[in-house]
Structure 1
Amino acid sequence: MPNINRRALLGGAAATTVLAAAAAHAQSDVMKAGPNLQGKSILITGTSSGFGRLAAEDYARKGAKVFATMRNLPRTEATELDALAKAEDLDLHVIEIDVLDDAQVAAGVADAEKIAGGAIDVLINNAGISTAGPVEIQDMEATKLLFDTNVYGPQRLMRAVLPGMRAAKSGQIFNVTSQLGRVVIPAFGQYSPTKFALEAMSEQLAYELVPHGIDVTIIQPGGYPTEIWANANALTQKLLDRAAEKHLNGYSALVEQLRMRTNNGGSTDPMDVPNAMADIIAMPAGTRPLRKEVHPGAKPQIAINEVSAKTQVGWLGDTPYGPWIKAVHNV
């Protein structure tokens, strides 16, 4: 069975049923294989805890050159990663990057590229925050912080790494969104709006990067017990404390619940997310999925993902954008 690379579609060959079946078969085979990260340079944001911290340690142990980025250095988490790298002889480098800071993003990526000796192979935009509460309660301070972190932060990182990736004609970008980037639970504040925006930006970028040999994958986790919950609870309490009564008084029962909020993401294994990304990194370029739902429980966004892909192909598949659209959706 031939290894079908979706970039071949740009050579003018029609995507036949046989080729599509072969691509699906190849992707299935690759996903079953153990991940091989040897020789990969991987930059991860938000590695002080959660998915980012787990991915940094795991990928370095799998042989990758890992750039673990976080803000506010020096800090205990950075010291721990430095000590781990030394103790296990890992190719792991801690770099200070606050995703809100243009200059720090540019400098941090430049440092990573210098250490890597060229373009970054994989960017994982993992850093993110959340607040809870009705949209009306979300003041502009909270709203701007969420969009700056969850949307503009990934954009800063992508713009920093893409010139090198395009020159290399290869690369992989992961943007970590959420189930709530496709479906909505009331009273999750501006979290869903930011993740919806990141979903759209990621998909558009995926189409535009087809000619450059760069893959984009959106990771959609469900609930996992990471630090985002404790941080969100703290940010939500600060928001409620400064909110004006004229906004709070329409949601009395909900505000009372928010003040007692103790969500922790459940008892699922956060390693599901690094494992899913490692499997995708190991896949041949051009066969990687646009979206990957990650959770052992319900994944309500799957139906939306499927109809969205079908709609994009049906709408634009026979236009001049068609080769890009079909390449990304592997049809």
Structure 2
Amino acid sequence: MPHTPNRREILAGAAALSAAPALLHAATPAGDPSLKGRTILITGCSSGFGRIGALHYARLGAKVIATMRGLPRPEAESLAAEAAKDKLDLDIVEIDVTSDASVASGTAKALAIAGGRIDTLVNNAGIGITGPVEVQDMEATQLIFDTNVFGIQRMLRALLPQMRAAKGGQVFNISSQLGRVIVPGGGHYSATKFAVEALSEQMAYELVPHGIDVTVIQPGGYPTKVWVNRNAYTGALKARSDAALLDAYAPFTRGMGTEDGSGRSADPADVPRAIAEIMAMPAGKRPLRRAVHPGTRPQEAINRVSAEVQLAWLGGSPTLGPLVKAVHD
């Protein structure tokens, strides 16, 4: 069959793609993608999507560098034990995404373990703090933006240079349904995830000439430890908040720090499975966004309209049009 060039080949040239053969993987006969030859760094692997994903990708053949803050800790020990039991290629490295120094030292160690090449970055680390906007003091505001937005920026600046040098790579940023739609009383969580959405889309356009794909993952609500962690942060915020301010927003502040995520039965492994599927797609043909949840996905309508608007607005530009079309085609 004659070869039809994909959009990355048209924009960046076939040489750029051939420099990154590890990014092209086919599915196994059983339906699970093979990730053999890929090296993946994941942030926030102490629990939830990060931990499940680290084990899942390693079981599919990838070399995985699972990172988390506060080492040593029991979560790291149990993850290492499970990886050793299954003879998985998985290393654990300390990275606190809120710290410039920790990101610098952790990514340097990860690159040394990986032989200087990490082809896939999964920016998974994130926190939630609920409550009305006015109740969010600057301590809470700075913490959630430092983790959910600035943490991603730190990781990008640390690992994109070696991806650009290799003329290929892949970045996944974990957003949320709430990166597109709003729930009153949700604190600054949506504000940070809206920022992640914008940052990711802009970066996707800018990285087209470098052969690096960007995908935003938009999970719905899943029963992970995120609820426990969120309650700790939210409970502390409520404890230091003025009673009169809390009373002014009583419908939204009454339950601050007590939500446990009960009633949510969706399988958290949905998210790593979706990420692995996208990893296995040919470079240049991966989606910019993927909504993940077995229930309703209200953000999908917004995703479609957003793509249509970007194409209508910039698609005809001689300089920006090819970038926008490469991402949305």
TM-score by length of 2: 0.91
Measured after TM superposition, the shift of residue 259 of structure 1 is 5.4
Distance in structure 2 (CA, Å) of the matches to 1:31 and 1:174: 22
Counterparts in 2 of 1:52 and 1:259: CA distance versus 1, 3 Å: closer
How many residue pairs align between the two structures?
Answer: 314
The residue identity in structure 2 corresponding to 1:136 is E
Partner SS for 1:95: strand
Within a 5 Å distance, the mapping from 1:176-255 to structure 2 comes to 176-255=174-253
Distance in structure 1 (CA, Å) of the matches to 2:282 and 2:215: 13
Aligned partner of 1:50 in structure 2 is: 48
Ranges in structure 1 where 5+ consecutive residues have no aligned partner:
13-28
Percent identity (aligned): 60
Distance in structure 1 (CA, Å) of the matches to 2:4 and 2:243: 62
**Residues 166-214 of structure 1: CA distance to partner in whole angstroms, max 9, x if unpaired?**
0000100000000000000100000000000010000000000000000
Partner SS for 2:248: coil
Distance in structure 2 (CA, Å) of the matches to 1:321 and 1:227: 41
Measured after TM superposition, the shift of residue 7 of structure 1 is 1.1
Structure 1 stretches of 4+ moved >4 Å: 1-4, 29-33
Aligned partner of 2:326 in structure 1 is: 327
8 A Cα contact 2:68 2:96, kept in partner: yes
Distance in structure 2 (CA, Å) of the matches to 1:31 and 1:179: 30
Aligned partner of 2:87 in structure 1 is: 89
Measured after TM superposition, the shift of residue 298 of structure 1 is 0.3
Aligned partner of 1:300 in structure 2 is: 298
Distance in structure 2 (CA, Å) of the matches to 1:183 and 1:31: 36
Within a 5 Å distance, the mapping from 1:269-308 to structure 2 comes to 269-308=267-306
Partner SS for 1:289: coil
**Residues 194-239 of structure 1: CA distance to partner in whole angstroms, max 9, x if unpaired?**
0000100000000000000000000000000011111111211111
The residue identity in structure 2 corresponding to 1:196 is F
The residue identity in structure 2 corresponding to 1:235 is Y
8 A Cα contact 1:131 1:232, kept in partner: yes
Distance in structure 1 (CA, Å) of the matches to 2:138 and 2:109: 34
TM-score by length of 1: 0.91
Within a 5 Å distance, the mapping from 1:64-79 to structure 2 comes to 64-79=62-77
Ranges in structure 2 where 5+ consecutive residues have no aligned partner:
14-25
8 A Cα contact 1:173 1:216, kept in partner: yes
Distance in structure 2 (CA, Å) of the matches to 1:325 and 1:121: 23
8 A Cα contact 1:67 1:95, kept in partner: yes
Distance in structure 2 (CA, Å) of the matches to 1:11 and 1:190: 38
Aligned partner of 2:168 in structure 1 is: 170
8 A Cα contact 2:120 2:169, kept in partner: yes
Measured after TM superposition, the shift of residue 263 of structure 1 is 2.9
Distance in structure 1 (CA, Å) of the matches to 2:323 and 2:27: 23
**Residues 279-331 of structure 1: CA distance to partner in whole angstroms, max 9, x if unpaired?**
0000110000000000000000011000000100110011110110000112x
Counterparts in 2 of 1:98 and 1:3: CA distance versus 1, 3 Å: farther
